[in-house]
Structure 1
């Protein structure tokens, strides 16, 4: 026994030395990885990611370390793609191995019960859900949603006419009511509608606050901490409570859609299509309610942020608004624009593209993950690494877009692609924006967003002058601060003042008359009596 003690002591030292060596490697960047900012032991680059405007720091790193760089985040690796060619080469051309998601313990396992398709890895379940999403969002099916877009854009005009100072809420109601109809088959008629408040306030912001909590970050980047008793991490209890509330909300709307389907009163919506597909595919109610609920959350907030950015741009760059109004007047005269005018309004389409570029709601996207070791530009990309699409950095690259913080629709003068066509253009330099992702994770409702943006922009500029507010003390115009951005899962301009007025009395009356004619299609609760089968409009979108 005495003889064996030296060996035991030596073995203990070896074990401790190995553990210390392994700990010392955490947070370090191997020389074979793409370059990146200097790291610290154990934490890597975590301490360098700011809590305010992180997208600006990611842009600076791209300027310093190039279009592909690496961040070491505790035990995890994040490869950041900051050029259109890198996105095309990896997320598009190598999508077979770049379509996964990094493990998101809090966001997916705890707060979503593993059911949120946005955060699912490239698994059989995700591929099945993706197939279902395509079935309810493809171009042919989504044409049945055009009456919703026509109705809600006219409701938006009415709100701007009656209470122009509340334009933030009018925009959010517009996008939320569109998505509640397309997802669950009901409208949110007013900004204080209970269904609107139920969706946007307790659920969304609880998710946001929990998701970004520092303890949640620790659990994501240091998995060993998950073995500790949960009493050390109250955020886990909050996350589970959030999941239960959210699931009840989504399930409530799914069950309502099921009752309407059985009674024959159902309106065209994703839920109805999912319930019909459920009979053949046999997936659970939980999968169905989370797929429809995820579509609701993603579609509403992204489009709202883009439109708020558009309103802000019209105030900061009034010459753009004037040019756009000249085109709308030339094409439409005294009638309200509709989707038939899409091919004839290249400047409005350019405003859509520039809005998506100038104020992208998804500044850093949702990270992909690589399924196996890979090599790119001579660098090693390790299996399991997160892959971030630096949307802000690409869309504000002065080499790609000179003077990038200038809102200039002229950039798109010769670009007649819609967002879906641009996203799959084999020439990476011809892609207009990256707001809706890339590769197999490309948003499948991209064409729906294009239509919603076009109607809102064209009709607002036809009916109203968007002017700067006047400071009551100085008497000078108030120019919104474009750098004042609200942060969260999506970025959006912080609240700003505007002076929104009808361009003339004739157009104000046209807005009132248009809404009165639409009200005839609604019941006393401002829900559809019967949705029109469709609106006649040019077949400007390819079916493929």
Structure 2
């Protein structure tokens, strides 16, 4: 006999109410965390700004592995080196995906490697990138780094108040050479400005409350654009970003095909496209993502280093004493790395003290797992809480002090430290973990060493004074907001240590200019670069026959 309609409706309502009643609860067996509310879980507790401070407080209260229930989603927060090593490294086979970051996907056209889920496309891109950024390849880029670093020093002689712009040009030009084969010669280059402006807006979007709501309550995505202004904004960001990235790609692709391009990463990308047939937009985002990664993270770290030297002048003095003892009147080089342990410590401490990926980019687990008695459900986001680990007083006593001596006995490279089986011996967590580990870390580490050693060798970095002669002391806690952070702009006094040092900087730059043409591009490229001449796939096959 058929059930009455009202009975069916009652049963349906009961099921819906029961399902809704579970939303926002922390299921039994999950890692502990702050108390939840029905439907929203911990959403009401999520900080609107400076999230790294609240995430660290929760780690102190709930332990190194805790959970946040965010509407329909779960975020597992790892706040110890051991937990990161155990899960993201040792279980990387299931912890290397990404949660669905909806607005980030819209703003990237679904093409940004940083946000891609773990799968065939991501692995294909990673293989291409690895071939061009591995430790062997990284050694061939040293002439690029040397040139751009000397251009940075020369720019600071004449425009020290624009130190942030000169630092950004330094890291961007190094990257445009490696990726596209051309130098960025001016701090006023419009594409340079567009890159940093666009990536800053992308980072802010990713860290916004609106982006979080659309991730946590996917039903809201069904709303039309006029009711979702952030989605309209994300689409506009994608249009401008695609114009830059795909534009760079199409220009260099054309030059590669007609034989006029300088050797660069895109040579391998064109070969891969010939073989596998992926789209120009994807190729544009692969090369563009490397451009933003190589430009932004290293520049942000160097800006943090300048701030640290202003706030901790005794550190700058100690570094200069080591440089004077080892290098004397000559400019330091990468060959001096073994003899400059304090400067190596400055590099590591810069990455620890001001980590640009302050709460990491979340991973996602692709199947149910268990850790230390806790359930970690399939699909959960997994955050590596960089700030909490870097500022754990048990790991780093007096953590907000910039102290390179923390690494007095640590001669590991960043890659060696990241792969150290003993998690407590890892220097910092800026370069990620597991299969998402940054493949350009060898290049970034060398760029940081050259910049830090030569800045301290050539210049005094001091507190600036305002028009009334009063010192303007920067606030190390005044950071930009978003997925990736850095100090907000601050003034600094950057002056040559002596006339002889200033003259040496000018002499070194004059030698570099002899290698450049009238457009300040390489006249003859350095020897030893890894890239081979481009040949069409058919030509390669014919040669093999």
TM-score by length of 1: 0.94
Alignment match, 1:136 = 132
Report the number of matched residues: 529
> How many Å separate the matches in 2 of 1:29 and 1:521?
63
- The superposition leaves residues 460-517 of structure 1 with CA deviations (integer Å, 9 ceiling, x where unpaired) of 11100111123443x4543321111122222111222211110110110011111111
Do 1:95 and 1:439's aligned partners in 2 also have CA atoms closer than 8 Å?
A: yes
Alignment match, 1:233 = 228
After superposition, residues 422-461 of structure 1 pair within 5 angstroms as: 422-461=417-456
Deviation at 1:16, TM superposition (A): 1.2
After superposition, residues 155-234 of structure 1 pair within 5 angstroms as: 155-201=151-197, 203-234=198-229
Kindly tell me: are residues 255 and 127 of structure 1, through their superposed partners in 2, closer, same or farther at Cα, counting changes over 3 Å? same
> How many Å separate the matches in 2 of 1:206 and 1:504?
40
In the alignment, is residue 532 of structure 1 matched against residue 519 of structure 2? no
Alignment match, 2:273 = 278
Alignment match, 2:20 = 23
Match of 1:299 among 254, 279, 294: 294
Kindly tell me: are residues 505 and 271 of structure 1, through their superposed partners in 2, closer, same or farther at Cα, counting changes over 3 Å? same
Alignment match, 1:542 = none
* Higher mean C-alpha displacement, 475-484 vs 496-505: 475-484
Equivalent position SS for 1:410: helix
Do 1:437 and 1:443's aligned partners in 2 also have CA atoms closer than 8 Å?
A: yes
Alignment match, 1:74 = 71
Do 1:185 and 1:267's aligned partners in 2 also have CA atoms closer than 8 Å?
A: yes
> How many Å separate the matches in 2 of 1:177 and 1:111?
25
After superposition, residues 6-85 of structure 1 pair within 5 angstroms as: 7-85=4-82
Match of 2:283 among 288, 299, 310: 288
Kindly tell me: are residues 309 and 213 of structure 1, through their superposed partners in 2, closer, same or farther at Cα, counting changes over 3 Å? closer
> How many Å separate the matches in 2 of 1:435 and 1:210?
21
Equivalent position SS for 1:34: coil
After superposition, residues 465-476 of structure 1 pair within 5 angstroms as: 465-473=460-468, 475-476=469-470
Do 2:204 and 2:483's aligned partners in 1 also have CA atoms closer than 8 Å?
A: no
Alignment match, 1:414 = 409
Alignment match, 2:512 = 518
Alignment match, 2:473 = 479
> How many Å separate the matches in 2 of 1:229 and 1:12?
30
- The superposition leaves residues 76-108 of structure 1 with CA deviations (integer Å, 9 ceiling, x where unpaired) of 100000000000000000011101111122212
Equivalent position SS for 1:253: helix
In the alignment, is residue 488 of structure 1 matched against residue 485 of structure 2? no
Deviation at 1:209, TM superposition (A): 4.5
- The superposition leaves residues 270-325 of structure 1 with CA deviations (integer Å, 9 ceiling, x where unpaired) of 21221133333433322221111111111211111111111111111111111111
Equivalent position SS for 1:493: coil
Equivalent position SS for 1:42: coil
Uncovered stretches (5+) of structure 1, i.e. residues with no partner = 536-544
In the alignment, is residue 364 of structure 1 matched against residue 359 of structure 2? yes
> How many Å separate the matches in 1 of 2:141 and 2:118?
29
Do 2:64 and 2:78's aligned partners in 1 also have CA atoms closer than 8 Å?
A: yes
After superposition, residues 318-329 of structure 1 pair within 5 angstroms as: 318-329=313-324
Equivalent position SS for 1:180: helix
Kindly tell me: are residues 130 and 387 of structure 1, through their superposed partners in 2, closer, same or farther at Cα, counting changes over 3 Å? same
> How many Å separate the matches in 2 of 1:477 and 1:534?
48
Do 2:326 and 2:339's aligned partners in 1 also have CA atoms closer than 8 Å?
A: yes
In the alignment, is residue 124 of structure 1 matched against residue 120 of structure 2? yes
Match of 2:493 among 495, 499, 510: 499
Equivalent position SS for 2:83: helix
Alignment match, 1:105 = 102
> How many Å separate the matches in 1 of 2:204 and 2:435?
29
Kindly tell me: are residues 236 and 483 of structure 1, through their superposed partners in 2, closer, same or farther at Cα, counting changes over 3 Å? closer
**Cα RMSD (Å):** 1.7
- The superposition leaves residues 147-189 of structure 1 with CA deviations (integer Å, 9 ceiling, x where unpaired) of 2111111111011111111111111111111222222122221
> How many Å separate the matches in 1 of 2:91 and 2:406?
29
Do 2:361 and 2:483's aligned partners in 1 also have CA atoms closer than 8 Å?
A: no
* Higher mean C-alpha displacement, 326-335 vs 64-73: 326-335
Alignment match, 2:111 = 115
